[in-house]
């Protein structure tokens, strides 16, 4: 008897995901009936995007798990009708995409590439940047993505400090944790990268107080979550010159409204939430593996801790 898999995401995503999912399910040795519509009481697994039409999980009485297509779960983890296991998306495509975005933009800021692109005014300014070993970088968040990005930057020669709310250890990085560790991590950072999940504990982690902990001239990258940053505090720090540059990929409201001051600010670079997009082929393999595990009676991968929010 086939396992019934519901694809619950926006309609336009079905065309992108249908064939990769069918291929991954077959490759995993699963006899599966994959559809974008099912009677709720016949569904075994839900492949899910939090912005989909499905918001009430109560009718899905047979379902064994909800398998999120996104790394972020803040828009679903608090859903009171969701009482079955929830797995977030952790896959090599997400990790590699984030590593490429973070290393690319860290190098861009480190080398001062913007000034060369925008400063073609006929004046010769032979000022070389410091070597990577003299440009300390701090990563806030030591999950899968933060760890991968920190190790990639360390491999390029940057001294990397990682901070998390609880104690962790990562090869090649100095790891700090807790409130005192946060102050230490920020005070020594010329570039800070935000890769924390969005929870009540991490909202506005970069605010007027913590921005002031950074040395004058520090630069900020936020490919994590828009709510990690107090926008008014960041704009004020940019305007007074305490923060030299901010490169932002995630925002509280997306798409970012045209009237938002970030668009026109001379010290801000906006990218349209592309740092770590889900790739259909690699995501489909993660989904299929979790369904295989569920059918084999094994533990699901990447389960969300509801109490922690991620």
C-alpha atoms less than 13 angstroms from C-alpha of 77 in its C-beta half-sphere: 19
Looking at the DSSP assignment, which residues form a beta bridge with residue 218?
243
User: Which secondary-structure segment (H or E) carries 218?
Assistant: strand 218-222
Catalytic member of 135, 198, 225, 292: 225
Q: Which two tokens stand for residue 285?
A: 């393999």
Contacts of 183 (CB under 8 A, 6+ apart): 213
Radius of gyration of the chain, Cα coordinates, nearest whole angstrom = 21
CA distance 149 to 138: 11
Q: Which residue in 298, 274, 303, 292 sits closest to 21, CA to CA?
A: 292
Quick check: is 135 catalytic?
Answer: no
Catalytic member of 62, 273, 302, 306: 273
Quick check: is 225 catalytic?
Answer: yes
CA distance 160 to 163: 10
CA distance 53 to 247: 32
CA distance 300 to 294: 6
Q: Catalytic residues, which ones? A: 225, 273
């Amino acid at each position: 008897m086939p396992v019934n898999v519901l694809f619950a995401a926006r309609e336009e995503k079905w065309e992108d995901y249908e064939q990769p999912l069918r291929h991954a399910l077959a490759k995993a040795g699963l006899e599966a009936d994959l559809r974008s519509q099912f009677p709720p009481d016949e569904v075994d697994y839900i492949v899910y995007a939090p912005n989909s039409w499905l918001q009430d999980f109560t009718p899905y009485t047979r379902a064994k798990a909800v398998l999120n297509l996104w790394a972020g779960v803040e828009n679903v983890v608090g859903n009171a009708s969701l009482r079955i296991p929830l797995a977030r998306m952790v896959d090599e495509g997400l990790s590699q995409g984030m590593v490429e975005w973070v290393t690319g933009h860290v190098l861009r800021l480190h080398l001062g590439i913007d000034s060369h692109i925008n400063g073609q005014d006929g004046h010769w300014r032979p000022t070389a940047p410091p070597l990577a070993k003299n440009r300390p970088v701090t990563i806030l968040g030591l999950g899968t993505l933060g760890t991968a990005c920190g190790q990639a930057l360390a491999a390029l020669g940057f001294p990397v400090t990682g901070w998390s709310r609880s104690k962790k250890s990562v090869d090649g990085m100095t790891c700090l944790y807790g409130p005192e560790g946060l102050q230490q991590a920020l005070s020594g950072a010329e570039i800070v990268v935000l890769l924390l999940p969005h929870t009540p504990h991490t909202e506005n982690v970069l605010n007027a107080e913590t921005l002031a902990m950074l040395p004058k001239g520090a630069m900020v990258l936020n490919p994590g979550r828009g709510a990690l940053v107090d926008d008014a505090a960041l704009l004020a720090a940019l305007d007074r010159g305490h923060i030299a540059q901010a490169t932002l990929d995630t925002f509280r409201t997306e798409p970012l409204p045209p009237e938002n001051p970030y668009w026109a600010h001379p010290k801000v670079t906006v990218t349209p939430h592309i740092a770590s997009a889900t790739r259909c082929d690699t995501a489909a393999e993660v989904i299929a593996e979790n369904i295989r595990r569920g059918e084999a009676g094994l533990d699901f991968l990447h389960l969300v801790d509801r109490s922690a929010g991620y």
